[in-house]
Amino acid sequence: MECIQSALVVFWGAAMLFYRFAARWYRTIQLCSILLVLTLVAEGQTSYVFTKVLNNNTQRPDGNGVFNINNLTTPAFDGQWVVFKDYGNKDDGSLQALWSFNTVDATFHKLADLRTTVPGAATTFTDIQLPDTAPLVRKGTVVFVAHYISGALLQGLFAVPAAGGAVVKIADYSTADPTGGKFNRLGAFGSQAGGFSFDGATVVFAGQGNTSTSGAYSAPPDGTSLALVADTAHPFTGGGVSAGYFSTPTVTGSNVLLYGTDGTDPATTASTWPW
């Protein structure tokens, strides 16, 4: 397997021993960057077939050199499609892109880059390589977070077919909050950017509106019918507990699981409920 060689410059002096140790450690864990798909040979066995998706010697199909992946790449996989962010081989990040790889026919597809027009805005994406978030793919649809500039730095949650196609906006700072006003933050403190989950049919995400409401919201991946799940204006009361602050929603089979608290002492009042 071909891998990009890494080198360390070792400085002489009092720190020489430290750098010798660091060089050995670095070479041990940074041999190469590679994405693999593992297939179980037979049920009940622990043998796997490894299929290489790409490494840092793989040429990008768009002609912009090789892929540049690392331990922050955090790919997603739905059984057929591998989806990953690639920074590109230019230090200024101008070649960053969102890609998919079809394990059926071994083809790459570029889903979005900095030339992609933001749906509903007369501008293009400025950052899709946010380090604290990763795309999700379910049933051939990809959901991802990106930044763009339209008078100010804005953030949005978007969807695109894994095979490539039109990007659809699910929510951004121009989207109406179902409780009133518009969103001014997507995500929850301490969670990934966008604070979203996707089960192939429904996207749920944490958000905050400019009317000081915050909560969890849902929408299909086509960006229609955005709905309130729960927020601070609609507290939940039941089972002897009350919660008005919600974050970190997850969804499976159109059932949403939420973290909630009454905002006093999370150690005694935080709970999770299916919705």
Whether pLDDT at 266 is above 80? no
Highest mean pLDDT among 154-158, 190-194, 231-235: 154-158
Q: Is residue 20 part of a domain?
A: yes
Proportion of the chain above pLDDT 70, given as a percent: 76
User: Which whole number is the average pLDDT over 160-182?
Assistant: 94
pLDDT in tens, 41-64: 556 666 788 889 999 999 999 999
pTM, to two decimals: 0.81
For residue 65, the model assigns a pLDDT of 96
User: Which whole number is the average pLDDT over 10-34?
Assistant: 37
Whether pLDDT at 264 is above 70? no
Whether pLDDT at 202 is above 80? yes
User: Which whole number is the average pLDDT over 212-226?
Assistant: 91
Q: Is residue 260 part of a domain?
A: no
For residue 191, the model assigns a pLDDT of 66
Q: Is residue 183 part of a domain?
A: no
Which residues constitute the domain of residue 13?
A: 1-32
Q: Is residue 19 part of a domain?
A: yes
Q: Is residue 119 part of a domain?
A: no
Report DSSP letters for the chain, one per residue.
Answer: --------PPPPSTTHHHHHHHHHHHHHH-S--EEEEEEESSTT---EEEEEEEETTPBPTTSS-B----TT---EE-SSEEEEEE--SSTT-TT-EEEEEETTTTEEEEEEETTSBPTTSSSBEEE---TT---EEETTEEEEEEEEESSSEEEEEEEEETT----EEEEETTSBPTTSSBEEEES-TTS-TT-EEE-SS-EEEEEEETTS-EEEEEE-TTS-S-EEEEETTB-EEETTEEE-EEEEEEEETTEEEEEEE-SS-HHHH-EEEE-
For residue 187, the model assigns a pLDDT of 79
Q: Is residue 265 part of a domain?
A: no
> Domain tally for the chain?
1
For residue 145, the model assigns a pLDDT of 93
User: Which whole number is the average pLDDT over 159-180?
Assistant: 95
Q: For all residues of the chain together, what is the average pLDDT?
A: 80
User: Which whole number is the average pLDDT over 229-247?
Assistant: 78
Q: Is residue 161 part of a domain?
A: no
Label residue 39 by pLDDT band (50, 70, 90).
Answer: low
Q: Is residue 9 part of a domain?
A: yes
